[in-house]
Amino acid sequence: MAAGVSAPPRAVVEHLVRQAVYQRLGKPLPRIAQAPNPLVVNISARHCHLTQEAVEALFGKGYQLRVLRWLYQEGQFAAQETVTLIGPRSRVISNLRILGPCRSLNQVELAYTDAIALGFDVPLRLSGDIKGTPGCMLMGPAGFYELKEGVIRAARHVHMHPDDAAFYGVRNGDYMRLKVGGDCGVVFEKVLVRVDPAFRLEVHLDTDEGNACNLQPHTPCELVKA
């Protein structure tokens, strides 16, 4: 393939091959329901969501987060700013990325291996469900901010537009299964469905899960109803 020319998506190649086979057999291509949007599976590395109050305590009065790069979900971004997380027994993670925009509560999302390294015993929770979770101390260039609670391992989930939910036959709060192919293929159970008109179809796994199946941009993945 010529330099600078990318290969067509796997789904396109499979469709063209299927079409050629049916033409050779002299049969019409069967009508198969097509998903309204392509499935995207991304690894969500450790990060934090902060309130404007926390941002100002860490970076200074009136400080506004700056966009480093836009994320797949519309309006969401990885900020240029990072903080240092101080865990039990003064163990730290530096350069913890902030995701914006600011939210109404503070939340730190870690993989289990991150939590073990820090000395945390973190629960598996849905995003936003932080009652009774561990807290931590965050340090920024302008000062410290203590979280009384909010350190979790986020449950794996899939963002869906209502059109996607209708196609898969699921509703908000349902669970699905994610089949990951490749040499390290696995099936992830209990993928929580989150439906909103603003969402794009995207599964979020954490780094532990992504590493376990060697998830790559070309790895075949399939969502199925549980």
The pTM assigned to this predicted structure is: 0.83
How much of the chain, in percent, has pLDDT values that exceed 70? Answer: 88
Domain match, 201 and 146 both:
no
pLDDT at residue 8 tops 70: no
Domain match, 103 and 164 both:
no
Domain match, 125 and 164 both:
no
Q: What's residue 22's pLDDT?
A: 61
CB under 8 Å to 222, separation ≥6 — which residues?
39, 178, 179, 181
Domain match, 140 and 179 both:
no
Domain boundary among the residues 154, 170, 203 is at 154
Domain that holds residue 88: 42-154
Query: Is residue 57 in a domain?
Result: yes
Q: What is the pLDDT of residues 156-200, one digit of tens each?
A: 999 999 999 999 999 999 999 999 999 999 999 999 999 999 999
Assess contact for 46 and 110: CB atoms under 8 A. Answer: yes
Q: Which two tokens stand for residue 21?
A: 């086979």
Distance (Å, whole) CA 202 – CA 214? 18
Number of H helices, E strands in the chain: 5, 15
Q: What is the pLDDT of residues 40-61, one digit of tens each?
A: 999 999 999 999 999 999 999 9
Domain boundary among the residues 154, 188, 204 is at 154
Mean pLDDT along residues 15-30: 65
Number of Cβ atoms within 10 Å of the Cβ of 57: 19
Domain match, 107 and 140 both:
yes
Number of domains making up the chain? 2
Domain match, 149 and 46 both:
yes
Assess contact for 155 and 133: CB atoms under 8 A. Answer: no
Query: Is residue 8 in a domain?
Result: no
Q: Which two tokens stand for residue 16?
A: 């063209």
Domain boundary among the residues 139, 154, 169 is at 154
Query: Is residue 3 in a domain?
Result: no
Domain match, 160 and 220 both:
yes
Q: Are strands 175-180 and 221-225 parallel, antiparallel or unpaired?
A: antiparallel
pLDDT at residue 7 tops 80: no
Query: Is residue 14 in a domain?
Result: no
Domain match, 51 and 141 both:
yes
Domain match, 135 and 162 both:
no
Domain match, 160 and 109 both:
no
Query: How many angstroms separate the Cα of 51 from the Cα of each of 94, 100, 104?
Result: 19, 9, 6
Q: What's residue 14's pLDDT?
A: 53
